[in-house]
């Protein structure tokens, strides 16, 4: 089935601090459902799992309340506990990025991209490297 595609992109806030295990981290992302006629429609709480370097980044830098973007894939599973079958749905993250908290943030963010296998820094504002009055055209 070469036409199958499983990608998830979510933005939200960490609902609680990251849980760290041996090269694995888990956290819950609160994703708002928006508003309808001025009334808040609530939030969904999405379980996110990170492995390897992505887990290391999450464990070191992420904490409750931080606004982040998560990119990864959806994975479902099940396990038995005390004779009952429990079903799970998780996002397996391979990219995490901090998001600006408000309009006064300059948009710079640090993130970890598993595909690039390293930490990245986005620089949307490079005005400090340009002399005042310089116009490049």
C-alpha to C-alpha distances, 113 to 7, 50, 60, 69, nearest whole angstrom: 14, 11, 15, 11
pLDDT of residue 114: 53
pLDDT of residue 3: 84
Topology of domain 8-129, per CATH?
OB fold (Dihydrolipoamide Acetyltransferase, E2P) (2.40.50)
Task: Determine the Cα–Cα distance for residues 129 and 120; give it in Å rounded to an integer.
Answer: 19
Whole-structure pTM value: 0.70
- State pLDDT tens for residues 104-131: 544 445 555 555 555 454 433 333 444 4
- State pLDDT tens for residues 67-87: 999 999 999 999 999 999 999
Kindly report the average pLDDT of the chain as a whole number: 79
pLDDT of residue 133: 44
Domain boundaries, the chain: 8-129
């Amino acid at each position: 089935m070469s036409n199958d595609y499983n990608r998830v992109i979510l933005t939200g806030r960490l609902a609680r601090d990251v849980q760290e295990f041996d090269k694995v981290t888990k956290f819950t992302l609160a994703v708002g459902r928006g508003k309808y006629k001025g009334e808040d429609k609530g939030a969904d709480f999405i379980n996110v799992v990170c492995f390897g370097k992505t887990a290391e980044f999450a464990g070191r830098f992420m904490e409750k309340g931080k606004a982040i973007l998560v990119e990864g894939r959806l994975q479902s599973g099940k396990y038995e506990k005390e004779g009952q079958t429990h079903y799970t749905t998780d996002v397996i993250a391979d990219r995490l990025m901090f998001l600006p908290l408000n309009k006064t943030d300059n948009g710079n963010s640090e993130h970890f991209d598993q595909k690039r296998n390293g930490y990245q820094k986005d620089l949307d504002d490079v005005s400090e490297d340009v002399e005042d009055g310089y116009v490049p055209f």
